[in-house]
Every structure is written in structure tokens, then in C-alpha cells.
Amino acid sequence: MKRVSLYSSSRPQAGKEVRIPKKSELKSRFSWKESLRNHRLSLLAAGPGLIALALVLLQWGYTATPQNLTQEEIDVAVTRALDTVPLPSPATRAYEAVRGSIVRVRSFVDDPKTGEEIVASTGTGVVILDKGVILTNIHVVAGAKRISLTFADGLESEAELTGTRPEDDLAVLQAKTVPDDLQAATLQSTSDLAPGDHVTAVGFPFGIGPSVSSGVVSGLRRDYHSPEGKRLLTNLIQFDAAVNPGNSGGPLVNASGEVVGIVTGILNPTDQRVFVGIGFAVPIENAALAVGVPPF
């Protein structure tokens, strides 16, 4: 019988015999390829589900174990949060505490030339009792024919002079009409007041206001002669918050919003009578005596 040979080229080559695979071998070879193809398609079809399952397991892993924070970490987080939120300044807090107690005080006299009523002076007052008792300076209301008050809510009222304390340049006024929700300032002893402490002055400098200025206590137990040289004031608080004519009688307030003094004068070596950095206030203990209230 003649042997048949198959070659890779179109020409027969001597000695190159090609073996024809058996049918069973062909069936086995094709079966594992088919299986691999089927498994690959199954994996591709299941891919999105597997990814979703992996994400769920990852999320569960994060939430299943809560993080334990130390006190130090909590303190750092709180400090960082406070640093990002601007807080109001000490002057803002002080003003908000007393703004409802600030009063504009105007004294009226008759013009000697025309006989008409005119404003003789403008100053500031502070409510110390909610029934309408107000502290100011004597020199704000001295010689007044009529005294007018304007409260923080805009209500205007006439006032009566009910008491004075000349050695401290203090006057006590009683409002004839009182706002329903009148706020009295909180008074605080100066026993703990020290140079360098923050203070705020509130008033109507040159009639403008209420105006707020801030500074520090420059000294304690100071003496001061009035511009006319007629009166010596002692045991005063020296401060450097800007004040000018019109601030007289207004409150000097500490960082907690409590009144520690009543502004009474400024020192200026010139005749201009404007602020150069030295103001004086009567300690609130003296003011309490002017009202007849026992000191702290």
C-alpha cells in the first residue's frame, strides 16, 4: 500500500510525515478551550456585581470599627474650629452689654441776646437703675434751665436733677418718662482693676454717637484739675481710650461689659480741649455714693 504524506508547503518534501490526530484527541482539545471561553464569559458577566460587593464590604469595614478620639485630638479640633470663626472684639462685647443703658444728655438755657432757648452743652449719661436713675457729670448740666434725655430706643424725656456730688463732678438725674424695657447697666468694683486692663468708653463726642472707643487702663488713683482750675478731682482712673467733649458723664466699661467708672475729663496741655491720649474717669464706687447706694 502506498503511504500518503502531508507537508506544510504545496510541494511534497521527502521524509516529512504528518500525523493525523485521532477524533478523540480533537474532541478533548476543543472541550477545554470551550470551557475556558465559557468561564471567561461568566466572569465578565459577574464583574459589576463583584465590584459592587467589594465596595459594600469596604464601606462596612470602615463603619464597623468606630474611631476612638483622644481628649487631645478633640481639643485640637475645637481650637481649629474656633480659629476659623472670628469672635467679636472686647470693645464690641462691652458695647453690646451697655448700649441699652446709654443716654444722650442735653442742657438748655436761654440765649441772653435773643431770649430763645438754646443748647448749652451735650454730654452722656448711663442708666444705673431701671426706674430711670441716670448718672452724668455736673459740668454737663450745670446752670441748665431744662435737661433733655434721649434713650437708646429713641425715646426723649425731660429730666430732673435730683442729686450732686461736687467732689467727684457727679450729678444724678431722674427721667420723667421711662421706656418700658429700660436696661440698667451692671456696675463693677474697681478693686480688681489694674493698669493694662482693657476698657471701652461709650458716649457722644461733639454730639456724635453713640460712639465707641477702646483702650487700656493707664493708671489708678490719679489727681486732676478741671480746665478752669476750680476743682481738684482725686482717685481717678486714667485711661487712653479716645474721649472728647460730649463723652463727659458716659460709662467706662471693662472687658465684661460692666461699668467701672464715669468719664469726667481729659488732659491737654493746649487750649484746644481735644484728646491727646489721657482721659480720666471717676471710679464707680464714688458714683454709687452720689446716688446714695452703698459702695461695693
Identify the CA nearest to 128 among candidates 259, 267, 277: 259
Which has the minimum average pLDDT: 44-58, 148-162, 196-210?
Answer: 44-58
Q: What's the CATH code, domain 95-291?
A: 2.40.10.120
> Which residue type, as a one-letter code, is found at position 295?
P
pLDDT grade, residue 4 (50/70/90)?
A: very low
Q: In the chain, what are the domain boundaries?
A: 95-291
pLDDT at 154 over 80: yes
Residue 43 has pLDDT above 80, yes or no: no
Catalytic residue among 139, 157, 168, 198: 139
pTM: 0.70
* Residue 95 pLDDT: 96
pLDDT of res. 32: 45
Least confident of 9-18, 93-102, 151-160: 9-18
- Name 164's bridge partners: 171
Look up 225 and say whether it is catalytic: no
Q: What is the mean pLDDT of residues 122-148?
A: 95
pLDDT tens sequence across 237-279 = 999 999 999 999 999 999 999 999 999 999 887 777 788 889 9
Per annotation, catalytic residue among 101, 168, 169, 198: 169
The yes-or-no answer on residue 248 being catalytic is: yes
Q: Annotated catalytic residue: which of 157, 211, 218, 248?
A: 248
pLDDT per residue as tens digits for the range 180-223: 999 999 999 999 999 999 999 999 999 998 999 999 999 999 99
- 9 classed as catalytic: no
Q: What is the pLDDT of residue 9?
A: 41
142/60: higher pLDDT: 142
> Identity (one letter) of the amino acid at 92?
T
**pLDDT the model gives residue 88:** 78
